[in-house]
Amino acid sequence: ARELGVGRLVYSSSSSVVGDQDTHVVREDMSPRPVSPYALQKLMGEQYAGMFARLFGLSAVSLRYFNVYGPRQLTEGAYALVIGKFIRQKQQGETLTVYGDGEQTRAYTYVSDVVRANVLAAQRPLEPGSHLVLNIGTTVETSVNAVAARVGGDVRHVIPNPRGHLEELRKVADNAKAAEALGWRPEVDFEEGMR
Ligand code: UDP
Protein backbone atom coordinates (compact mmCIF):
# COMPACT_ATOMS: atom_id res chain seq x y z
CA ALA A 1 0.00 0.00 0.00
CA ARG A 2 2.83 2.36 0.82
CA GLU A 3 4.63 1.68 -2.48
CA LEU A 4 1.43 2.36 -4.40
CA GLY A 5 0.74 5.55 -2.48
CA VAL A 6 -2.45 4.33 -0.85
CA GLY A 7 -3.75 7.10 1.41
CA ARG A 8 -6.37 5.28 3.42
CA LEU A 9 -6.57 1.78 4.81
CA VAL A 10 -9.93 0.50 6.07
CA TYR A 11 -9.41 -2.59 8.22
CA SER A 12 -12.19 -5.08 8.92
CA SER A 13 -11.88 -5.67 12.64
CA SER A 14 -14.23 -7.37 15.06
CA SER A 15 -16.22 -6.55 18.17
CA SER A 16 -14.61 -9.67 19.63
CA VAL A 17 -11.35 -7.78 20.27
CA VAL A 18 -12.80 -6.21 23.42
CA GLY A 19 -13.69 -9.68 24.75
CA ASP A 20 -14.31 -10.24 28.41
CA GLN A 21 -15.62 -7.05 30.11
CA ASP A 22 -17.72 -6.15 33.15
CA THR A 23 -20.42 -4.59 31.00
CA HIS A 24 -22.11 -5.90 27.86
CA VAL A 25 -22.26 -2.46 26.21
CA VAL A 26 -19.07 -2.38 24.16
CA ARG A 27 -17.15 0.88 23.75
CA GLU A 28 -14.02 1.45 21.71
CA ASP A 29 -11.99 2.77 24.65
CA MET A 30 -12.27 -0.42 26.73
CA SER A 31 -9.02 -2.29 27.30
CA PRO A 32 -9.12 -5.23 24.90
CA ARG A 33 -9.35 -8.65 26.55
CA PRO A 34 -9.73 -11.11 23.68
CA VAL A 35 -10.93 -14.58 24.62
CA SER A 36 -10.16 -16.41 21.38
CA PRO A 37 -7.22 -16.71 18.96
CA TYR A 38 -9.46 -15.14 16.28
CA ALA A 39 -10.08 -12.06 18.45
CA LEU A 40 -6.39 -11.77 19.33
CA GLN A 41 -5.30 -11.75 15.68
CA LYS A 42 -7.99 -9.15 14.87
CA LEU A 43 -6.55 -6.96 17.64
CA MET A 44 -3.05 -7.40 16.22
CA GLY A 45 -4.38 -6.37 12.81
CA GLU A 46 -5.67 -3.13 14.34
CA GLN A 47 -2.29 -2.51 15.92
CA TYR A 48 -0.51 -3.10 12.61
CA ALA A 49 -2.93 -0.70 10.91
CA GLY A 50 -2.18 1.97 13.52
CA MET A 51 1.56 1.35 13.39
CA PHE A 52 1.79 1.44 9.60
CA ALA A 53 -0.26 4.63 9.56
CA ARG A 54 2.19 6.24 11.99
CA LEU A 55 5.30 4.92 10.31
CA PHE A 56 4.36 5.56 6.70
CA GLY A 57 1.99 8.51 6.80
CA LEU A 58 -1.18 6.85 5.57
CA SER A 59 -4.34 6.97 7.62
CA ALA A 60 -6.27 3.97 8.87
CA VAL A 61 -9.78 3.23 10.10
CA SER A 62 -10.45 -0.02 11.94
CA LEU A 63 -14.11 -0.97 11.85
CA ARG A 64 -15.14 -3.35 14.60
CA TYR A 65 -17.98 -5.32 13.05
CA PHE A 66 -20.73 -6.76 15.24
CA ASN A 67 -22.35 -10.01 13.97
CA VAL A 68 -22.86 -9.09 10.33
CA TYR A 69 -25.60 -10.93 8.43
CA GLY A 70 -27.35 -10.67 5.07
CA PRO A 71 -27.06 -11.77 1.43
CA ARG A 72 -24.07 -14.01 0.61
CA GLN A 73 -23.39 -14.83 4.25
CA LEU A 74 -21.68 -18.16 4.87
CA THR A 75 -24.04 -20.97 5.78
CA GLU A 76 -21.55 -23.66 6.77
CA GLY A 77 -18.02 -24.20 8.02
CA ALA A 78 -16.10 -22.75 10.94
CA TYR A 79 -16.76 -19.13 9.93
CA ALA A 80 -20.53 -19.40 9.38
CA LEU A 81 -22.38 -17.25 11.89
CA VAL A 82 -25.53 -18.32 13.62
CA ILE A 83 -28.09 -16.71 11.28
CA GLY A 84 -26.60 -18.32 8.16
CA LYS A 85 -26.25 -21.63 9.96
CA PHE A 86 -29.85 -21.64 11.23
CA ILE A 87 -31.18 -20.79 7.75
CA ARG A 88 -29.23 -23.70 6.25
CA GLN A 89 -30.43 -26.04 9.01
CA LYS A 90 -34.00 -25.04 8.31
CA GLN A 91 -33.62 -25.42 4.53
CA GLN A 92 -32.16 -28.91 5.01
CA GLY A 93 -34.96 -29.93 7.36
CA GLU A 94 -32.67 -30.08 10.37
CA THR A 95 -33.37 -28.98 13.94
CA LEU A 96 -31.91 -25.58 14.87
CA THR A 97 -29.05 -26.04 17.34
CA VAL A 98 -29.42 -23.40 20.05
CA TYR A 99 -26.37 -23.46 22.32
CA GLY A 100 -27.06 -23.41 26.06
CA ASP A 101 -30.22 -21.62 27.17
CA GLY A 102 -30.18 -19.41 24.05
CA GLU A 103 -30.39 -16.21 26.07
CA GLN A 104 -26.98 -15.02 24.80
CA THR A 105 -27.38 -11.72 22.99
CA ARG A 106 -25.64 -10.04 20.08
CA ALA A 107 -26.02 -6.85 18.03
CA TYR A 108 -26.95 -8.39 14.66
CA THR A 109 -25.99 -5.83 12.02
CA TYR A 110 -27.20 -5.90 8.44
CA VAL A 111 -24.59 -6.08 5.70
CA SER A 112 -25.73 -2.99 3.77
CA ASP A 113 -25.17 -0.89 6.91
CA VAL A 114 -21.66 -2.33 7.18
CA VAL A 115 -20.96 -1.58 3.50
CA ARG A 116 -22.04 2.03 4.02
CA ALA A 117 -19.72 2.31 7.03
CA ASN A 118 -16.82 1.15 4.85
CA VAL A 119 -17.54 3.73 2.16
CA LEU A 120 -17.80 6.51 4.76
CA ALA A 121 -14.58 5.34 6.42
CA ALA A 122 -12.76 5.36 3.09
CA GLN A 123 -13.90 8.90 2.32
CA ARG A 124 -13.61 10.68 5.65
CA PRO A 125 -10.83 13.30 5.79
CA LEU A 126 -8.15 12.26 8.31
CA GLU A 127 -4.69 13.49 9.21
CA PRO A 128 -1.82 11.40 7.78
CA GLY A 129 -0.57 9.04 10.48
CA SER A 130 -3.89 8.79 12.27
CA HIS A 131 -5.87 5.68 13.16
CA LEU A 132 -9.57 5.64 14.08
CA VAL A 133 -11.22 2.65 15.77
CA LEU A 134 -15.01 2.52 15.43
CA ASN A 135 -17.76 0.15 16.50
CA ILE A 136 -20.01 -0.80 13.59
CA GLY A 137 -23.00 -2.44 15.22
CA THR A 138 -26.51 -1.84 16.41
CA THR A 139 -27.55 -0.92 19.93
CA VAL A 140 -30.29 -3.57 19.91
CA GLU A 141 -29.72 -6.80 21.82
CA THR A 142 -31.17 -9.92 20.20
CA SER A 143 -31.03 -13.37 21.80
CA VAL A 144 -30.25 -16.64 20.00
CA ASN A 145 -33.76 -17.76 20.98
CA ALA A 146 -35.18 -14.76 19.13
CA VAL A 147 -33.06 -15.57 16.05
CA ALA A 148 -34.28 -19.18 16.12
CA ALA A 149 -37.89 -18.08 16.52
CA ARG A 150 -37.59 -15.70 13.57
CA VAL A 151 -35.99 -18.37 11.33
CA GLY A 152 -38.68 -20.80 12.52
CA GLY A 153 -38.83 -24.54 12.93
CA ASP A 154 -37.83 -27.06 15.56
CA VAL A 155 -35.19 -26.08 18.11
CA ARG A 156 -32.82 -28.29 20.07
CA HIS A 157 -30.89 -26.83 23.03
CA VAL A 158 -27.31 -28.11 23.08
CA ILE A 159 -26.38 -28.29 26.77
CA PRO A 160 -23.82 -27.52 28.01
CA ASN A 161 -23.02 -24.76 25.55
CA PRO A 162 -20.23 -26.23 23.36
CA ARG A 163 -18.50 -22.83 23.24
CA GLY A 164 -17.59 -23.17 26.90
CA HIS A 165 -15.32 -20.32 28.02
CA LEU A 166 -15.15 -18.85 24.51
CA GLU A 167 -18.78 -17.75 24.74
CA GLU A 168 -19.63 -14.09 25.26
CA LEU A 169 -22.98 -14.07 27.06
CA ARG A 170 -24.25 -10.57 26.26
CA LYS A 171 -22.95 -8.06 23.79
CA VAL A 172 -24.27 -4.93 22.16
CA ALA A 173 -22.61 -1.90 20.55
CA ASP A 174 -22.22 1.62 21.76
CA ASN A 175 -22.08 3.18 18.29
CA ALA A 176 -21.94 6.87 19.29
CA LYS A 177 -18.34 7.24 18.11
CA ALA A 178 -19.15 6.04 14.58
CA ALA A 179 -22.13 8.41 14.55
CA GLU A 180 -19.87 11.30 15.49
CA ALA A 181 -16.89 10.40 13.28
CA LEU A 182 -18.74 9.19 10.17
CA GLY A 183 -22.35 10.24 10.60
CA TRP A 184 -23.05 6.50 10.55
CA ARG A 185 -26.11 4.89 12.10
CA PRO A 186 -27.60 1.48 11.33
CA GLU A 187 -30.72 1.81 9.17
CA VAL A 188 -31.92 -1.79 8.75
CA ASP A 189 -33.48 -3.34 11.84
CA PHE A 190 -33.54 -7.06 12.64
CA GLU A 191 -37.04 -7.71 11.31
CA GLU A 192 -36.37 -5.97 7.99
CA GLY A 193 -32.96 -7.59 7.61
CA MET A 194 -34.35 -11.05 8.25
CA ARG A 195 -37.15 -10.49 5.80
N1 UDP B 1 -24.99 -20.19 18.41
C2 UDP B 1 -25.97 -21.15 18.65
N3 UDP B 1 -26.03 -22.23 17.83
C4 UDP B 1 -25.16 -22.42 16.79
C5 UDP B 1 -24.18 -21.44 16.55
C6 UDP B 1 -24.12 -20.33 17.37
O7 UDP B 1 -26.77 -21.02 19.59
O8 UDP B 1 -25.29 -23.45 16.09
C9 UDP B 1 -24.96 -19.00 19.28
C10 UDP B 1 -23.62 -18.79 19.95
O11 UDP B 1 -23.58 -19.51 21.16
C12 UDP B 1 -23.59 -17.29 20.16
C13 UDP B 1 -24.52 -16.73 19.05
O14 UDP B 1 -25.19 -17.85 18.50
O15 UDP B 1 -24.14 -16.93 21.39
C16 UDP B 1 -23.76 -16.04 17.96
O17 UDP B 1 -22.77 -16.92 17.49
P18 UDP B 1 -21.93 -16.57 16.18
O19 UDP B 1 -20.94 -17.67 15.98
O20 UDP B 1 -22.87 -16.27 15.08
O21 UDP B 1 -21.20 -15.20 16.55
P22 UDP B 1 -20.19 -14.81 17.78
O23 UDP B 1 -20.35 -15.81 18.89
O24 UDP B 1 -18.84 -14.83 17.17
O25 UDP B 1 -20.61 -13.45 18.20
- Quick check: pTM over 0.85? yes
- pLDDT tens per residue across span 53-97: 999 999 999 999 999 999 999 999 988 999 999 999 999 999 999
- The single-letter DSSP state of residue 32 is P
Examine the pLDDT at 166 and tell me if it is beyond 90. Answer: no
- 38 CB within 6 A, ligand 1: no
Q: State the catalytic residue, choosing from 38, 69, 108, 110.
A: 38
Whole-number Cα distances in Å, 17 to 26, 38, 150: 10, 9, 28
| Cβ partners under 8 Å of residue 38, min gap 6 | 14, 16
- 104 CB within 6 A, ligand 1: yes
- 68 CB within 6 A, ligand 1: no
- 106 CB within 6 A, ligand 1: yes
The answer to whether residue 38 is catalytic is: yes
6 alpha carbon – ligand 1 mean position (Å)? 36
Q: Quick count: other Cβ atoms within 10 Å of Cβ 49?
A: 22
53 alpha carbon – ligand 1 mean position (Å)? 34
| Cβ partners under 8 Å of residue 20, min gap 6 | 33, 35, 168
- pLDDT tens per residue across span 31-56: 999 988 999 999 999 999 999 999 99
Cα(72)–Cα(60) distance, integer angstroms: 27
Please check whether residue 81 is in contact with residue 66, taking contact to mean a CB–CB distance below 8 angstroms: no
